[in-house]
Amino acid sequence: MAVITVLGAGMMGSALCVPLVDRGHEVRLVGTHLDGAIIESLQAGHFHPTMKLDLPAAIRPYPAEALPAAMEGAELVALGVSSAGIDWATSQLAPFARPGLPIVMITKGLELREGRLGVLPDRVQRGLPEAVRDTVFPAAIAGPCIAGELARRVPTCVVVTGRDAGTLARLAEALRGPYYHVFPCADVIGAEVSAALKNAYAMGVAFGVGLHEKAGGVAGSVAMHNWESAVFAQAIREMMRVTALLGGDPLTVTGLPGVGDLDVTMNGGRTGRFGRWLGLGLGVAASVARMEGATLECLEILAVMREGLAAHEARGELRPGELPLLRQMMAVALDDAPVAMPFERFFAEGAG
């Protein structure tokens, strides 16, 4: 069994610790400078205040300043931060990175670098010291996984993806357990594009829930499932288009990282709740306020995609008519446009 250090004690970083301690690993959970209250609560009585549940006593909580102690003898590192914290986490980890250290992240997002969209494991690798960069291949977990369910040991299937097959095999072996099923996936572009974009598309599907309620619909009455399913289908086509644009395998979108994760996020995630507020017509500021500070990766990825699409379009790699759903979601969630789906532009040849 291994010594595993998890950096970031938010919901998903903490939830990942549960299958790891159940496998018998020694698991050290290190909070960021923003996680002080979580670590104090875990130290006082194993209670995670944002997930609102007790975690196994075997997980060892460390405050941010104790990172050097938590990294002593670490054989595997997991980054549990959201995309806003990924550069910070990389800089914290860098002094402790040694050749061949397996690193896995749960963060969902894409980066824009020199006018090109790229995946976050590559960004982490670039942030590591030159002396280890050639031997450390950061990997990422993607697929349908709600933190609170994994922490309650609900059977969960995910992929671990990255650029080095050997690292993926080692990670899958270390992470998997009786209820946490981990499959290596060599298509890091397809998996990471899916993982990042599903947050935005889940918001778009959830607009329909809000629209239905705004029109006077109530739970159990005739719903807007026709509307939502059409948006879902277009979302899958557009994720396949962006995957192809960046050089990944569009078929990856049809598996756990795309279809699987979009489904779970629509049904169980905070992104769905946020999309519902927008569909109800609350506007961006009031909808964000209702989320009470929850991480909203959907807004982060839409901002990155807006710049990224412009850059790819300027080089003639994408036409202005492509990805009509993504563009509409940007208008609603970034510019406060009313929710009006351009269905007539969906499903056409070349519309993504």
> Nearer to ligand NAD by C-beta: 80 or 210?
80
Shortest separation between residue 94's beta carbon and ligand NAD, angstroms: 14
Shortest separation between residue 142's beta carbon and ligand NAD, angstroms: 8
Q: 131: which residues sit within 8 A by CB, 6+ positions away?
A: 99
Residue 351 marked ligand-binding: no
- Whether 198 is catalytic is yes
> Nearer to ligand NAD by C-beta: 92 or 243?
92
Catalytic residue, chosen from 52, 108, 198, 214, is 198
Please check whether residue 256 is in contact with residue 144, taking contact to mean a CB–CB distance below 8 angstroms: yes
Count of beta carbons in the 10 Å neighbourhood of residue 254: 16
Question: Contact residues for ligand NAD (CB under 6 A)?
Answer: 8-13, 32, 34-35, 50, 80-85, 88, 106-108, 145-147, 295, 297
> Nearer to ligand NAD by C-beta: 50 or 322?
50
> Using alpha carbons only, what angle is made at residue 235 by residues 229 and 241, rounded to the nearest 5 degrees?
145
Which SS3 state, helix, strand or coil, does residue 30 take? strand
Q: 109: which residues sit within 8 A by CB, 6+ positions away?
A: 82, 83, 86, 120, 196, 297, 300, 301, 304
Residue 8 marked ligand-binding: yes
Kindly state the DSSP code that residue 343 receives in the 8-state scheme: G
Shortest separation between residue 179's beta carbon and ligand NAD, angstroms: 16
For tokens 């397809």, the residue is 190
What's the CA gap between 108 and 231, in Å, rounded? 21
> Nearer to ligand NAD by C-beta: 125 or 295?
295
What is the residue-wise DSSP string for 72-134? TT-SEEEE---GGGHHHHHHHHGGG--TT--EEE----EEEETTEEEEHHHHHHHTS-HHHHT
> Nearer to ligand NAD by C-beta: 211 or 326?
326
Shortest separation between residue 196's beta carbon and ligand NAD, angstroms: 8
Residue 11 marked ligand-binding: yes
Shortest separation between residue 61's beta carbon and ligand NAD, angstroms: 12
In the bound state, the residue with its beta carbon closest to ligand NAD is: 10
Residue 166 marked ligand-binding: no
Cα separations (Å) of 171 from 4, 5, 140, 163, 313?
11, 13, 10, 12, 37
What's the CA gap between 122 and 110, in Å, rounded? 10
Residue 12 marked ligand-binding: yes
> Nearer to ligand NAD by C-beta: 43 or 226?
43
Q: 135: which residues sit within 8 A by CB, 6+ positions away?
A: 99, 100
Residue 13 marked ligand-binding: yes
Please check whether residue 129 is in contact with residue 136, taking contact to mean a CB–CB distance below 8 angstroms: no
Give the bridge partners for 105, in sequence order. 79, 140
Shortest separation between residue 107's beta carbon and ligand NAD, angstroms: 4
Residue 139 marked ligand-binding: no
Residue numbers in the known binding site are: 8-13, 147, 270
| Residues belonging to the active site | 198
Residue numbers in the known binding site for NAD(+) are: 8-13, 147, 270
